[in-house]
Every structure is written in C-alpha cells, then in structure tokens.
Chains A and B, each alone.
Chain A
Amino acid sequence: MIRNSLLLLLSLPLLFGCQSKKGKWSDTEFDVPDSIEIAADFKISEEALEEIVQNVSSPIEMSALIKEIGTPFSVDYLATTDFVERYNTSFQMAYMLGVFGADLGYLNIYDKNTQIVDYLTSISKLADGIKVGQFFDFSSLKRLATSRENIDSLMYISVSSFNKMDSYLRETKRGHLSALMITGIWIEGMYLATQVAQDNSDPVLQTRIGEQKLNMNNLFLILNAYQSQPQIQELVETLNQIKVEFDKVEITYEMGDPETVEQDGMIMIVQNERSIVHITEEQMNSIIKITEEVRNKLIEL
C-alpha cells in the first residue's frame, strides 16, 4: 500500500510535468508511421549493419550473472509497466519494448512468474503497436507463466520472440526500430547491472560492466546509421554521456592457446586468451551514476 502510494506520488510529475522537458523523447512530430521503410544512412553498408546488429549481447547473460553472484531479486530495479499506454510513438514503443524485454529476462532468470504476466501484457501491447505482435505469442507465454513448471519453455519462447521481432523489423526495412529496441535492451541491462554494482563490488560484475564498452561501441555504429532522424540523433547525444565515461575504461588482452577438455561427457574448449578490464572505482561510480540518469531520462514520458 505504502509502495503503491509512493509510486503514485512519484508518477505525478511524470503524468503532468514532463511533456515539455528538454532532453527526453521528442514529441510525436518526428514520429514515422510504421508502414514507412527507413533505409540506413549509407555511410555504412546494409550488409555491414546486419553484421553489427548481430553483435549485441543478450540480456539473459547479464541477468544470469546478477543472480549467480548471489544478488537477491528486487522489483525496484525494474521499469514500471503502469504507463505503457502512454508510450504511443513508434520510437517510444520500440525503445520500451527493449526495456521491458530486458526486465522480462531478469524476471525469467529469477522465476518471478507473478510479475512476468504484467511485463508480457505490456510487451504484447508495444509489439502490436509497431506491428510485430504476430511474433509474440502472448497467450502461450501467459499460460506458461501461470503454470510454474515450464520456466525453460517460457524463457525460450520469450527470447525467441524477441529474436524474431528483431529480424522482422530489419527484414521490413525498419532497422531504426530494431536499433531502438536493441538500445532499450542494452541500457536496461546496464541499469540492472550498475544498480547491483552499487552495493556489490563483485569483480566479475565489475568486469562485465567495463566490458560493455565494446557493446556500447557497437550500439553507436548501429544508431549512427540512422542519425538523419532527429530522435535518433537526440538519443545518440544522450547515450554519449555514458560513452564518454566508457572511453576512459581500458581493456587489454593476454595471449594464450585454447585447450580442449572433456567435462561430463562433453567437449569443452577452454580459452586461454583473456581480456582484462582496467576500471577504477571512480570510473565505475561515474558509469553507475550516468547510466541511472540516462536510463531514467529515456523512460520518462
């Protein structure tokens, strides 16, 4: 009850005060109808772009790491689904589809079926909004979420649905929406990780956050291809605040040859070449802070 009241209180400025703020999503004037195809800005070939798009890591991996290091589940990390109806431009819908997709991954990893239904409902609405709802089998997913025995299937169908939506957006020349969805997934994954890192200085988590420098660079390559659109340009400028911090992080490599071992009857290739992330406490704190600011700004209405 207290939490609900608090949420309501916090949401009031969102409901009434944010429409004219600078820096959040632009108003609908730049929104593009879903039927319109948008080609990338040809500074980068479509083929090269396709390669880059394949290169953004899955939110499942970040959430799995968060759980593996013993972090208890917290609903406070998640973006609220309460105002999903208000995300009504294709840009907002695609971006929030990614955000909620990352949160769904987190909920799946922690087997939180009760909350999952809320996120499935919101994702379904957003997916319909940008005409990719046919790849999101809401009724099956909801059925799986409410019968606690099928977590593996729920996870599989969820991830698979997002992969299909992403592919379809690119196939139908709406790569800008795919780019926005991927950005939403990445930022939310970063937010989850950095929120946990505030209270947990686990070195594996810190390394994983530092390594996101590589994904961030990929993300910029994707988004830059659509920079002729003002909203994407605005997004790039916002994300650049995180990039500035990541540019200070150094990643070095130690060479080594892979070896093959057998484990539980299966071949495992152990890589002995390793990446080493050099990140100071100050840099980490800056990344945590700026990620929170950027993430909250981007989900603002």
Chain B
Amino acid sequence: MARIAALLLISLLLGGIGNLQAQTAEEMVDVCVGKAGEDATYLKDFKVKLGVPTDGRPQVARFPLVLSSNNIYRFSVCDLPSSEGKAVIKIYDNNRLIFSSYAEDTKEEFNPFNFMCKKTGIYHIFISFLDGKSGEAVGILSYVKK
C-alpha cells in the first residue's frame, strides 16, 4: 500500500499521474524503481538503447560498478513499451557470469533477483535484448534493507 502511494506520488511529482505506461527512459526508471519492491532502496539506474546486431553480433551495454561485501543488492530490468526485444540483465565478476535474469535453457525469467555480495570489488552489469532484437530498457540497482 505504501509502495503504491509512493509510486502515485512520484507520478504526480513528475506530472504523469496514472501514466504507469512509461514513454521515456526517465519515466521508466520511476516505474521500475517501484517494481523493485518495498524493501529495496534505489542506488543507480542504467539506461540502455540498443539497435539490431552489427556484423552479426548482438549489441550489449556494459556498466562497471563497485559492490560491497555484506550487502544484498537487487537487480531489476524494465523494457520501454516501444522496445522490440525483451531486456536481460546479467552480472559478471571479472569475466565470469554470476547470474542472468533470463535462463536460456529453461526460458525462465528471474526479474528482479537478489545478489548477496561477499566480495567487495568491481563487477560488470550487462544489458542486452533477447534474440538480438533492438530495444530500450532501464536496469535498476537497489540496496536491500536487512
């Protein structure tokens, strides 16, 4: 209930009441932060606009960030309505994939998902679209309250 009230308020502040069907990446950040859950505190957003594959290689957006040990982080991703493809968010530690919001083998989606960090360091967030389609999306990094 509190989350809904907060969302409505944010929409009001931005002059977009009732318009939860965000049209811009900026509006989508507000909506996506709301979807992250009541126990999540927004830290950062990653806006992505990708085209179709170039030279046969799907486009991917990459963002480095520092995560701290003893924290639980939540990752979520939201597509803009205009997006052709479905966005997938992945977290990498060096070159090693830690988790993807979409499991290719089972076709399951895990959005949002939590990450219990035990190693402070630089991680990389990758955002791409399924099947190499073009699209626009926002990724959200939140801190999960203990």
Contacts and interface: CB of A to CB of B under 8 A. Distances in A.
A267 B114 contact: yes
Nearest to A255: B119
Given A208-B68, A258-B98, A150 B9 contact: yes
Interface in B97-146: 98-99, 110, 112-122, 143, 145-146
Interface residues of A, number: 47
B115 A55 contact: no
Interface residues of B, number: 44
Interface of B (DSSP majority class): strand
Contacts of A56: 66
Given A58-B143, A271-B119, A260 B10 contact: no
Interface string B61-77: 00111111111100000
A267 B98 contact: no
A127 B116 CA distance: 35
Given A54-B64, A64-B143, A150-B6, A211 B69 contact: yes
Given A140-B13, A152-B2, A214-B66, A267 B113 contact: yes
A283 interface: no
B43 interface: yes
B43 A266 contact: no
A273 interface: yes
B115 to A, nearest CB: 5
Contacts of B9: 144, 150, 153
B113 A137 contact: no
Contacts of B59: none
A266 B9 CA distance: 27
Contacts of A152: 2-3, 6, 38, 41
A156 B120 contact: no
A160 B115 contact: no
A275 B69 contact: yes
B6 A153 contact: yes
B41 A268 contact: no
